[in-house]
Amino acid sequence: MGLALEITGVSKSFGALKVIDDLSVTLGEGEALGIVGPNGAGKTTLFNLITGSIPPDGGTIRFDQSVIVAQAPHLRVRRGLGRTYQIPRPFGGMTVFENVLVASSYGSSKGEDDSHDRCVEILSHTGLLPKANTLAGTLTILERKRLELARALGTDPTVLLLDEIASGLTDPEVEELVELIRSIHHSGMSIVWIEHLLHALVAVVDRVQAIHFGKHLIEGNPAAIINSPEMREVYLGIEE
């Protein structure tokens, strides 16, 4: 199995605060990796570095077998790097279909006809086809989360970055979303998922990497990592 994403020795500081500290992360092709850590661990900053929203102070990010540190964010998207955000911000005055069509038209290399057909497939997969002509601003929270996923999928990613997509949902809604993400993973998609709802994460990912103060802490089997003494100390302050 080749590597879909390789981050080596990346660092990022904001003034005197070092948020990412010599961190390395790998993602295999077709693998689902969970990134966990307490608030302030540097998880979202890591995603911002991967997508190019902010530049690293040092280290290398390799995607699609090429170093992308100097590449513009929109070019990374067109290359196959998709992302969702913790708080969905759809175009509220546009329909659900139009939201996904915009993502497909501008974030992928598809033509208009191909984008149209692909959007129908994505809406069907994400359970939003009955809402295709509904204004995005009227959707429920769960539907907005589904639309956030659909818009990311509209760019035809080979690597999908999920930023706390299960936050703010009820337990039944989390279960629905987990099933959807699992189906996306089983289709062959490589996924990096940041999530505080650890039971949701463990239900999908193949491997978990924990970070703390921007540094690598521990990684391995999801259940073993979640229940490890290191994680109990970081999350609960319990030393064993």
- Taking only the tens place, the pLDDT of each residue in 138-187 is 999 999 999 999 999 999 999 999 999 999 999 999 999 999 999 999 99
Q: Let me know: does 191 contact 207? Beta carbons within 8 Å.
A: no
Task: Give me the residue label for tokens 């513009």.
Answer: 72
Number of H helices, E strands in the chain: 9, 10
- pLDDT, residue 114, reads 77
- pLDDT, residue 185, reads 97
pLDDT category of residue 239 using cuts at 50, 70 and 90: low
> How many whole angstroms from its chain centre is CA 118?
21
With a cut of 90, say whether residue 47 has pLDDT above it: yes
- pLDDT, residue 101, reads 95
Taking the model in full, what pTM does it have?
A: 0.93
Mean pLDDT confidence for 200-205: 96
DSSP state of 170: -
Mean pLDDT confidence for 204-224: 95
Domains identified in the chain and CATH numbers: 1-80+190-240 (3.40.50.300)
% residues pLDDT > 90 (the chain): 85
Side-chain-facing half-sphere of 171: CA atoms under 13 Å: 1
Sequence-separated (6 or more) residues with CB below 8 Å from residue 67: 60, 61
Q: Can you tell me the distance from the alpha carbon of 91 to that of 27, in angstroms, rounded to the nearest whole number?
A: 31
Bin 22: left if φ > 0, else alpha if -120 < ψ < 50, else beta: left
Q: How many beta carbons lie within 10 A of that of residue 31, not counting itself?
A: 20
Mean pLDDT confidence for 21-25: 98
Q: How many beta carbons lie within 10 A of that of residue 182, not counting itself?
A: 15
Q: Can you tell me the distance from the alpha carbon of 6 to that of 81, in angstroms, rounded to the nearest whole number?
A: 13
Where b means 16+ CB within 10 Å and e means fewer, 134-146 reads ebbeebeebbbbb
